[in-house]
A and B are shown apart, each in its own frame.
Chain A
Amino acid sequence: MTRRLLLFAALCFCLLAAALYAAFNAYSFFSDDEDRPVASGHAGPTHK
């Protein structure tokens, strides 16, 4: 067991806890409410 493995385990634990807290509260970086992705009239292909 190396010191950095313990540190890594602690990091994993923190990330997991944060993810579960977000899941419990239904928080997401990727939710679409309140932000209008494209205002009408601005759509169209980005193909160049």
Chain B
Amino acid sequence: MPVRGASLPYATCPYCRTLILRQGLNVEEIGKVAVLPFDVSPIQLGTTIGAEGRKLTVVGRVRWAWDGGSWNEWLALAETGAQFWLAEAAGTFMLTAEWPQLLDRPEVQAFANGGTINTGDAIEVEGRQLFASDVKQVECLGSEGDLPIPTQIGTRMTSVDYRSASGEVLSLQRDERSTTAWFGDSWDLVSLKPGNLRAIEGWTIPGEMR
């Protein structure tokens, strides 16, 4: 079984759809992962991202669904091991890095303790004013590759998206174990300077992305 991110505890076996937890030398079976539905995402495991001088490699994916649709969250690792989520939505991308200092904010703490956030609620991050645009209950539709979180069938979490006028995004994710905060920007695929994109049958990868 290929391991792309040795630092990541969870891996999905591509053959038997088993979710595996690695702890040191121990390997533990956690449960079954649903088969990822077919999609025409241009990202695949092994895709690289070169935006802003970074060198990120996609090592895993979770597909989440809510009552308004479903989307991919790709996990990208820097060479330092830093984790980024690349969220795909309607052809645009949100690239976010973990922002643990936000968890000290009272409103974020209240959310982590089970409180609710309403759309329109404001938060200031890095001098930018962001507003909650989506508050949704999401459910895992499947996963592949290496991941920092378990994704077996039935995994659920609460996801809150904040946006600023200039395109910055903040994502708060709460599952039964913990709450994490992720902050970053909106991108289109070209400006992410991608490499090793997935070849989709019937389509040509635009020149500037090859």
A and B touch in the complex (CB under 8 A): no
Q: Which residues of B contact A (CB under 8 A)?
A: none
